[in-house]
């Protein structure tokens, strides 16, 4: 995979005095959708459904990431069905 794929959506958290890199929710959702065939369709569907139920969701950021990760058409279909 391209290097930018690994840098999209990285956040730094401080846990017990240590800096830890983690992916934000939108990148995680995109990863589950991108790898739904390997991770399981039901799992990806549940992750997407849970994300949409969150108050802190950012659909705009999710769509931006999906374009960068080349899964925009899939995310767009999921959004049309879910909203």
Strand locations in the chain (E): 10-15, 18-23
Characterize 37-57 residue by residue with b for buried, 16 or more Cβ atoms within 10 angstroms of its Cβ, and e for exposed. Answer: eeeeeeebeebbeebeeeeee
The pLDDT score that the predictor gives to residue 11 is 95
pLDDT mean values, one per 10 residues, the chain (83 residues): 82 96 97 96 95 96 96 94 81
- Report the pLDDT value the prediction gives residue 82, as an integer from 0 to 100: 84
């Amino acid at each position: 995979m391209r290097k930018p794929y690994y840098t999209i959506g990285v956040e730094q958290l401080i846990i017990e005095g240590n800096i830890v890199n983690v992916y934000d929710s939108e990148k995680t959702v995109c990863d589950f959708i991108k790898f739904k065939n390997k991770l399981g369709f039901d799992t990806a569907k549940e992750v997407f459904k849970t994300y949409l139920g969150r108050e802190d969701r950012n659909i705009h950021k999710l769509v931006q990431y999906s374009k960068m990760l080349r899964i925009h058409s899939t995310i767009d279909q999921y959004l049309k069905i879910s909203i």
